[in-house]
Each structure stands twice: as structure tokens, then as C-alpha cells.
Amino acid sequence: MKKIIGLSFAITMLIFAGCATVEPPADVTDTPTPAPQTQTPETPTPETKTPETLVKTFEISGTNYAFSETEITVNKGDTVKIIFTSEEGFHDWVVDEFNAATEQIQAPAVSEVTFVADKVGTFEYYCSVGNHREMGMVGNLIVNEPPEADHMGCQEGEVDENGKCVVAAENNRALFEKDVDTLVQSTPVDTAELKGLFVSPKIAGDYPGIVMIHEWWGLNDNIEYMAKLLAGEGYNVFAIDMYDGQVAETSDQAGVLATEVRNNPEEAVEKLKAAADYLKTEAGSTKLASLGWCFGGQQSLNLSLNEQLDATVIYYGQLTDDQEQLKNITGPVLGIFGETDQSITVESVRSFEKALVELEIPNNITIYPQVGHAFANPSNSNYAADETVEAWDKTVTFLNDTLK
């Protein structure tokens, strides 16, 4: 079984504040005496594209009379994709509780079905052809309650005296030693469709645009500083607020806010695309990239699946290796990860990297040895100052090479 690591929010796409310490869319007037009409071709209605969201994909094959996998496990809310191959005989794959079924196919053939696991429990999947179910062609789909904070929770040693994740209260100002306020100007943006902070160099010019996405705490001081730091390098930066003005003060609150976004992937994608549109229309940026940490890393990937970007930067964010989704990426990818990350594993990173290579998408994947999740967060127990500086230098170089 091949299992694709999903990030749903999806959309179903990282941070110096760290994740663990963690998208708006004619009047008809009757004419009394019709004039001779000239036939005009109808203007086709633009196709509405459903936003790409990260999925959990399972490859299952069927023979007479068994499935290759008899148990698969997901979390409630996950988007699940089953790629079913009939290797022998005439079969299908069905799970009644989610109204999900592939076509009945004669070997050798493949059929797919995608659904949302929106209830918790153990559900039998089976082949509905003839008496194949009774003959033992069955398996179990196990749907669990999602972990309290999913991959964005604390790792060992990252909790306070009350057992809560350490809040990212500090920022990297001291580490980078730049008085960025003398170099840039900031404009808060607060509309029905878009909230965040737009930062640009004080010296007028044509600058590439960056959609910057915060980690699970929200758009806090640390992220605002990083937006100013990047703008000081010659970029228009829109630090988007995915939480509509809320900044989490506890890990419980952060988990709730992040989960709400991930459970509404289409809305999240629309917000992200609105930020990209702002950079194009209001700031005049002709080249765009996304950048985010952890929760924001997932959102950075999600934006690149749904918007033509010139570059994508992901700091230890949830990944996928589904090539049907990744083929939508239109520019190079920079990935920054930690070797001892318990959430975004080296295995998942290498699988993501392999998919990019097979799709011939240029990529630069770095896994820093002996550092964990959210290593670029100054208030995180995993904080690694040297790796943080090196990763940021790598990020700026990558963006300069790609966008300028």
C-alpha cells in the first residue's frame, strides 16, 4: 500500500515563530417590437475550478477474492482517494457509509474514487460483484478522531508547566540584527475578503511579490518581523492573516483556529489567492512566490497547487506526493526540514522530493541534521540559531535567483 501523506485543509498547503512553540469569487428588457436579429455565438461560461486540497491516497489491488490491503486508517475530515486496480477477475471497491464506490472493472484495469471521511468508526469496504463479499473480499476503513493538534502540536520537551505548547512570544529580531523599520513601510489590510499586513521597501520600484503565511499561532509579531525582514531584501510581502484577526495565546486555541482553516480548504484557498491578487493588482508585482512555516508551509503548498506561482517555499509543512496534484506546481520549490521532526518525517519529505523529480519540477530540498520541528522558532525548545540563519540565507538566495 502506498499512502500519501495528506495535508486536508487542505486545501485540501515554514516559520520562525515555529509551529510547535506551529485560503469571491443584466437586466433583461422586453422589446415591444423585435428588430431583425443577428445571431451571435454564445459566450461560454467560464469553468469553475475546484481548489486542489491535500488528500490521503491509497493504492489497493483486487484478485479472486481478496484485496491487497485489508485495513486502512485515516482521520475524520480527511479527503481520501482510493486507486483500485483489478489484477484478476471482475471487481470493484465499495464503502457504503460514505457513498463511495469505484466502477466495476475487468482485469487489468484501474478505477478511482475520492470521498471525505466525515464520520468516526470502523467501516467495512468490500467488492459488490456477485457473492465476492461473502467469499471474503472485504477490508476495514478505520476513521479516527483527528489528534488534538495534528502535526502542529508539541513535541517532547516543548511544553510549559501547565502541559501546554510553549507560545512563540519571541522573534528573530536579535538574531538577524536588522532595524528593518528604517527600510520598509507597512500597511494593514482589512477587508471582507482579505486581512493581513502589506510590507514593501520604502524606495519605490518594481518588486516581486511574496505571499507569507504564518504558523498556527496566527499573524503575530514574529511573522510581522519576518515580513519586514524579507521586504527589506527588495520584495513586496503580503503577510496574510488566515485567522481573521485572531492570534492564539494557548496551544488549545491555536489548534482550534488551525483546524477550522484546514476543515474549510476552499475558503482558505480563496483567501490565499486574494493575497496573490493584491500583490499583482495593488503592488504591481509580476512575479509571485509563497512562503510559510508549518501550518503556513502546508498553506504555501496549497496556494502553489491552485495559483500560477514562480516559486514555492515550504518550511516543515505537511506534504503530499500525489503527482496528480503536484503537477499543478508551475515553479521551483524550496523545502526546509529537520531530520528529527516527528511530524513531517524524513520519509515523507523524500517521497515528496521523488514526486517532484519525476514531474521534472525543479526543487531544492534541505533536511538539517539533528534538528526537529519548528527549529526556526526562537521560543521553541528545538530552536537552532545557526540552522535558522542558514535556512533564511538559503531562502533569500533561492527567491533572488528565481524571481529577480
Domain boundaries, the chain: 56-144, 150-403
Q: Is residue 6's pLDDT more than 60?
A: no
Percent of the chain with pLDDT over 70: 78
DSSP state of 376: T
pLDDT for 316-360, tens place per residue? Answer: 999 999 999 999 999 999 999 999 998 899 999 999 999 999 999
Q: Which of 81, 84, 94 is nearest to 62 (CA)?
A: 84
Cβ atoms 153, 258 nearer than 8 A: no
- Bridge partners, residue 365, by sequence: 335
Q: Is residue 56's pLDDT more than 90?
A: no
DSSP state of 396: H
| Residue 29: per-residue pLDDT | 32
Q: Which of 213, 215, 78, 214 is nearest to 152 (CA)?
A: 215
pLDDT for 82-124, tens place per residue? Answer: 999 999 999 999 999 999 999 999 999 999 999 989 898 999 9
> What is the rounded distance in angstroms from the CA atom of residue 77 to the CA atom of residue 369?
33
Q: Which fold has domain 150-403?
A: Rossmann fold (3.40.50)
> What is the rounded distance in angstroms from the CA atom of residue 263 to the CA atom of residue 256?
10
Of the candidate CATH numbers 3.90.950.10, 3.40.50.1970, 2.60.40.420, 3.50.50.60, the domain formed by 56-144 belongs to 2.60.40.420
| Residue 21: per-residue pLDDT | 38
> Which parts of 295-343 fold into alpha helices (H)?
295-306, 323-326
Is the overall model pTM greater than 0.75, yes or no?
Answer: no
pLDDT confidence tier of residue 161, bands split at 50, 70 and 90: low
Q: Per this entry, what is the length of the chain?
A: 404
| Residue 242: per-residue pLDDT | 97
Q: Is the peptide bond before 278 cis (omega within 30 degrees of 0)?
A: no
Angle between helices 295-306 and 265-281 (to 10 degrees): 70
Q: Which of 120, 97, 111, 119 is nearest to 60 (CA)?
A: 111
| Residue 162: per-residue pLDDT | 58
Cβ atoms 222, 180 nearer than 8 A: no
- Bridge partners, residue 338, by sequence: 368
Angle between helices 295-306 and 251-262 (to 10 degrees): 10
- Bridge partners, residue 80, by sequence: 56, 115
Query: What's the alpha-carbon Rg for the chain, to the nearest Å?
Result: 24
Grid coordinates given for 181: 523599520
| Residue 49: per-residue pLDDT | 53
